[in-house]
Amino acid sequence: MKKRRLSLQIRFFLSMLFIVIIASVLIIGVAVFQYHEQAKDYHKNRLERKENAVKRDITYQLESTAFFLESRNPSHITQKKINEISKVHKLKISLYGLDGKLLKTSYTDLSKETDKEILDKAIIKAIKANEKHRIVKDKKFKGDIYKSSYSYIYNEKLEPIGILNIPYLEKSNFYQKELYEFLKRISVVFLFVFFIAIILAYFLSRYITRSIKTVIDKMEQTQLNKRNEKIELKGGSEEIHNLVKAYNSMIDQLEESAVKLAQSEREQAWREMAKQVAHEIKNPLTPMRLSVQSFQRRFNPTDKDAKEQIATFSKTIIQQIDTMSSIASAFSDFAKMPTPKKETLNIVEVVKHAVEIFSEPYISFFSDENSIIAHLDKTQLIRVITNLVTNANQALTAVENPKIEVRIRNNKNHAEISIADNGKGINYEVKDKVFEPKFTTKTSGMGLGLPMVKNIIEAYGGSINFISEKDKGTVFTIKLPK
């Protein structure tokens, strides 16, 4: 099964829609990624801001409770102040010594996962190794994700005096809601854009391929035996104009070639016809010449048989003249295309009359209907039938139980006439040449009968064809419009 290829218009249409869909998916993907990154940066910066604010309050409290710099220690801050700072910033606060021991915390329950009495040595080591002396650990508690930050608290000499721990719950509800709203709005926009893209892609594909379709239609209509129209195209791209220009140039060359070909064919046909006429005329001229020469040698006016000799000679000359006359008539009839002289007639009656001309008992006539009306030339139709029946009769030489059947069938739009015989048939090698002028399989004749029959039938909008099997017979079928 031949695979069907997509047209250029459909390919262009689908390509535009594919581009719109891919662009929409990429934009939505980038938007979602950007929102997540924005939320991540927001929480990161928010944690740092809260951490710095808490450190400022703790430093202020240390400065208020300890006059000397050396005596400032996170453990000196009262629990009440720790709770106040925690309440103001809405954060849980834990203060550790540099050794990792818990000093103060705003937690009331130390069993929670977010707070420990002694920090892991790994955390203390990580804080000390970090350039900013600050680390953030992810923790999960009751399905929520926490960011737990650990950082040094410094005195005025920028000496670390403790470790501050702040657990921070990332609540992205606001950003999630904003993201959903954004996606809803952009989805509506994309649906509208997609609808517009469908319309635009359809009309653009039609506009782009319309010119190509025009060229294709013109090419399909191009024929060698008629005058072809050139393409006059308004608008279109430079490539289309070049294509149209090449097509118009091809039409000019085609017309020139057609004229030369027609002229060559006419000249060749006249040459062939001249050869055939000369050949056919020479055939009777030779016996005529021999007869005259023989008559000159043998004729004796004083001979008692002189009158009989003159009669015999005259008869021979007249026969050859009749032969030449029939040759001239045959060529004349073939050269003349039948003038469409249409008259209303009953095909059944005309064909039956043509068959009755033959006296052979093995020629039969059959018809499905008593009357089939058509507009044809009665004389030409009789001529066609008699020619085909004569050919069929000549094919029955040396055939036992010869038979010729002429049958008429009434079809919907045409009458079908068949002439069937059980003769020697037509060889497969010459089937394509049967309707060619001057072709014949007989020892006599000029091969103009069947070409003439074909010309007559086609002049009335009909058709003729045949099937044949060697030594079994031939059936010629004629279809004529009713």
We find that the CATH architecture of domain 343-481 is: 2-Layer Sandwich (3.30)
AA letter at 461: G
CA dist., res. 159 & res. 74, Å (int) = 13
Q: Give the bridge partners for 139, in sequence order.
A: 146
Give the Cβ contact number of residue 200 at 10 Å: 14
**Whole-model pTM?**
0.38
Q: Say which residue the tokens 């009158």 belong to.
A: 307
CA dist., res. 254 & res. 251, Å (int) = 5
Question: Backbone phi, then psi, for 322, in 5-degree steps?
Answer: -60, -40
Contact 119, 100 (CB under 8 A): yes
Q: What is the pLDDT of residue 4?
A: 62
Look at the chain and count its residues.
482
Contact 113, 120 (CB under 8 A): no
Q: What is the pLDDT of residue 164?
A: 92
Q: What is the pLDDT of residue 407?
A: 94
Topology of domain 8-176 in CATH is Beta-Lactamase (3.30.450)
CA dist., res. 85 & res. 89, Å (int) = 6
Q: For the chain, which residues make up each domain, given as ranges?
A: 8-176, 239-335, 343-481
Cα 145 to chain center, whole Å?
58
CA dist., res. 92 & res. 74, Å (int) = 16
Q: What is the pLDDT of residue 183?
A: 82
Please give the structure tokens belonging to residue 38: 């924005």
Provide the residue-wise pLDDT of the chain in tens; the chain has 482 residues: 455 666 667 877 888 888 888 888 888 888 888 888 887 888 788 888 988 999 888 888 877 765 555 556 777 788 888 888 888 888 888 899 988 898 888 876 544 544 567 888 899 899 999 888 999 887 776 666 678 899 998 887 788 889 999 887 766 565 677 778 888 888 888 888 888 888 888 887 777 777 777 777 777 676 655 666 676 666 666 666 777 778 778 777 777 777 777 677 766 766 766 666 666 666 666 666 766 777 777 777 777 777 777 777 777 777 777 767 766 666 665 555 555 577 889 999 999 988 988 888 899 999 988 999 988 888 888 888 988 998 888 888 878 889 999 999 998 889 999 999 998 888 776 677 777 654 344 444 434 567 778 888 888 889 999 998 888 899 999 999 98
CA dist., res. 264 & res. 254, Å (int) = 15
CA dist., res. 136 & res. 146, Å (int) = 10
Give the Cβ contact number of residue 85 at 10 Å: 21
Contact 428, 421 (CB under 8 A): no
Cα 193 to chain center, whole Å?
29
Handedness of CA 174, 175, 177, 178 (dihedral sign): positive
Handedness of CA 410, 416, 421, 422 (dihedral sign): negative
Pick the CATH number of 239-335 from 1.20.120, 1.10.1220, 2.60.120, 1.10.287: 1.10.287
Contact 94, 106 (CB under 8 A): yes
Contact 452, 391 (CB under 8 A): no
Contact 261, 291 (CB under 8 A): no
Cα 423 to chain center, whole Å?
50
Contacts of 250 (CB under 8 A, 6+ apart): none
SS3 annotation, the chain: CCCCCCCHHHHHHHHHHHHHHHHHHHHHHHHHHHHHHHHHHHHHHHHHHHHHHHHHHHHHHHHHHCCCHHHCCHHHCCHHHHHHHHHHHCCCCEEECCCCEEEEECCCCCCCCCCCCECCHHHHHHHHHCCCCEEEEEEEECCEEEEEEEEEEECCCCCEEEEEEEEEECCCHHHHHHHHHHHHHHHHHHHHHHHHHHHHHHHHHHHHHHHHHHHHHHHHHCCCCCCCCCCCCCCCCHHHHHHHHHHHHHHHHHHHHHHHHHHHHHHHHHHHHHHHHHHHHHHHHHHHHHHHHHHHHHCCCCCCCHHHHHHHHHHHHHHHHHHHHHHHHHHHHHHCCCCCCCEEEEHHHHHHHHHHCCCCCCEEEEECCCCCEEEECHHHHHHHHHHHHHHHHHCCCCCCCCCEEEEEEECCCEEEEEEEECCCCCCHHHHHHCCCCCCCCCCCCCCCHHHHHHHHHHHCCCEEEEEEECCCEEEEEEEEEC
CA dist., res. 134 & res. 38, Å (int) = 22
